[in-house]
Chains A and B, each alone.
Chain A
Amino acid sequence: MYTVRIRVYYFLAEAYDSFRRNWVMSFAAVMVVFISVLLVGSITFLGHIVGKITSDLENKVEIKIFLKDSATKEQVQSFEAKIKELKEVKTVVYITKDQALVDFKERHKNQPELIEQISGNPLPASYELSLKNPRDANKVAGKLENLPERKTVVEKINYARETIQKLFKVTGWIRVIFLVLITFLCFASLALISNTIRLAIYSRRKEVAVMRLVGASNWFIRWPFLLEGILQGLIGAILAVLLLLAIKAFVLAQFQSSVPWLPIDINSSFYNLLVFWLMLAGIAIGAAGSTIALRRYLTT
């Protein structure tokens, strides 16, 4: 145990020492990790926000069923029971004729001449259905069309069929683009980081040669490099995460206040998860990079 403790201290001291002595190379490695993690993190941020906006848009997709004035109360009730039974439907909101008129007047309060022209209440009662999965809009509409009440109760079924299909096409593409972008960035970062570490170790290959010459075991040589790599990866990742936090707290908040109707925000749980993975990635990249780069000098 005693020797193990001495060893750990020795390796940490060596790692710190060489970090300090080779600070230009260390700085380069830290910077590369920093920039890579920052890029991946910001793109993930952006992807998260775009995802939120698109799913927000998608959730606005709803089906509106206008009822015939002639439908009896019993007919309407049995119809309501049937649409509530549809498994794709999330919520059903009934809007009475009176409510519809109130909503109409509210919507057009800037156009009093339009309201003046209305006599009595020409607006129909209606149901507004929201769906568990907005992509089912076509299916649900089809089912509604086939109900027997379609003729007796329902005046018209309204949903923005074309718009919905276009919207889903666009949101689908946006998701694919972001996925490709993030994957691509991850690979580019990996290549960049492993190259930087390889360069750093190449500049110290004489040191490695001397270590082998005096009979240092491979792990004895590897540990300081490994710890140094981890240290570089961790520092780079921490810097990037701090900057991401600043972006979240200041830049995004600023945007949000200027466009309040869009959900521009990062959930804390998502941010925490992202931070965890980015730090882990930083450490793993530092460790893996130095191990792989060392391998060609440790072939005995």
Chain B
Amino acid sequence: MMIEAKDVSVTYKESPKPALIDVNLSIDKGEFVFIVGPSGSGKSTFIRLLLRELVPTKGQVTIAGQDIIHLRNWKVPYLRRNIGTVFQDFKLLPNKTAYENVAYALEVINKSKHVIATQVPEVLKLVGLGDKFESYPDELSGGEQQRVSIARAFVNRPPLLLADEPTGNLDPNTSMGIMSILNRINKTGTTVVIATHDREMVDSMRKRVVALADGKVMRDQMRGVYGED
């Protein structure tokens, strides 16, 4: 099992209404899962939970068998090295080139220059940016920036890749491109979890769909569709 959440509830300090209520969810190794639902349904909270950016008020979360709730703070960076993350706003460093942005993820975990020099070009080619190594983020289109961020998330070959609204800022055509890259990454054995409210995308992919509403799991369907909001 890659991800296992048991009776997980999350309440933010700022609001009395819980963001997640008694969520039970298991995701197997190598799965491709959409978490869908309207804004405020708890999708992002679930992603942040897996990144250990917050701890649940109650319940248990394990990733690859490891309890991440009771993880010591100084171990959290090591958890994150095994999780690739992609966000709606790309989160690229504006003063580094595409190449440097991807290389940065390897520098941080102390990989050698040799490893960096072989893996970074490879993964940039994989996402279709073989000719944009030296471009800075503001010289790239939204779709290209998202490809850089996917390359950065995947360059370390993490067993798990999380994406929070990866196509939120992109037009439908570009979105399709991004999805097919994520699909290709999934084919290499990486578990992919995508939080989205991109109906068209979910319906066209026919993957497992977990629908959240008001912090509860409403539906969990293999080869599912977006369904009703």
Contacts and interface: CB of A to CB of B under 8 A. Distances in A.
A213 B80 contact: yes
B224 to A, nearest CB: 29
B110 interface: yes
A214 to B, nearest CB: 4
Contacts of A173: none
A213 B105 CA distance: 9
Main secondary structure of the interface of A (DSSP, over half): helix
A206 to B, nearest CB: 7
Interface stretch (B26-34, B91-99, B189-197, B202-210): B91-99
Contact of A213 (B74, B91, B107, B109): B91
Nearest to B153: A214
A214 B110 contact: no
A206 B94 CA distance: 10
A300 B78 CA distance: 12
Contacts of A213: 80, 85, 91
B52 interface: yes
B52 A300 contact: yes
Contacts of B93: 206-207, 210
Interface string B72-88: 01101111110001000
Interface residues of B, number: 22
A207 B93 CA distance: 6
Given A10-B107, A220-B108, A300-B73, A215 B95 contact: no
Contacts of A216: 77, 108
Given A10-B107, A220-B108, A300-B73, A215 B91 contact: no
Contact of A209 (B78, B91, B109): B91
A152 interface: no
A282 B95 CA distance: 28
Contact of A218 (B53, B77, B107): B77
A143 interface: no
A217 interface: yes
Contact of B74 (A7, A10, A21, A217): A217
A222 interface: no
A249 interface: no
Contact of B152 (A207, A209, A214): A214
A8 interface: no
Interface residues of A, number: 18
Interface in A6-29: 7, 10, 21
A235 B132 CA distance: 38
B77 A210 contact: no
Given A210-B91, A213-B80, A218 B109 contact: no
A215 B78 contact: yes
Contacts of A10: 107
Q: Which of A3, A206, A207, A210 is packed against the most chain B CB atoms within 10 Å? A: A210
B104 interface: yes
A213 to B, nearest CB: 6
Interface in A72-88: none
B165 to A, nearest CB: 15
Contact of A300 (B76, B81, B85): B76
A180 interface: no
Contact of A215 (B53, B73, B109): B109
A150 interface: no
Contact of A211 (B74, B76, B92, B108): B108
A209 B91 CA distance: 8
Interface in A182-217: 206-207, 209-217
Interface of A: 3, 7, 10, 21, 206-207, 209-218, 220, 300
Q: Which 4 A-B pairs have the closest CB atoms?
A: A215-B81, A215-B80, A216-B108, A214-B105
Given A215-B105, A300-B53, 13 more contacts: A3-B110, A7-B110, A21-B95, A209-B91, A211-B108, A213-B85, A213-B91, A214-B80, A214-B81, A215-B77, A215-B78, A220-B77, A220-B108
19 contacts: A3-B110, A7-B110, A206-B91, A209-B91, A210-B93, A211-B108, A212-B77, A213-B85, A214-B81, A215-B77, A215-B81, A215-B108, A215-B109, A216-B77, A217-B74, A217-B77, A220-B77, A220-B108, A300-B52
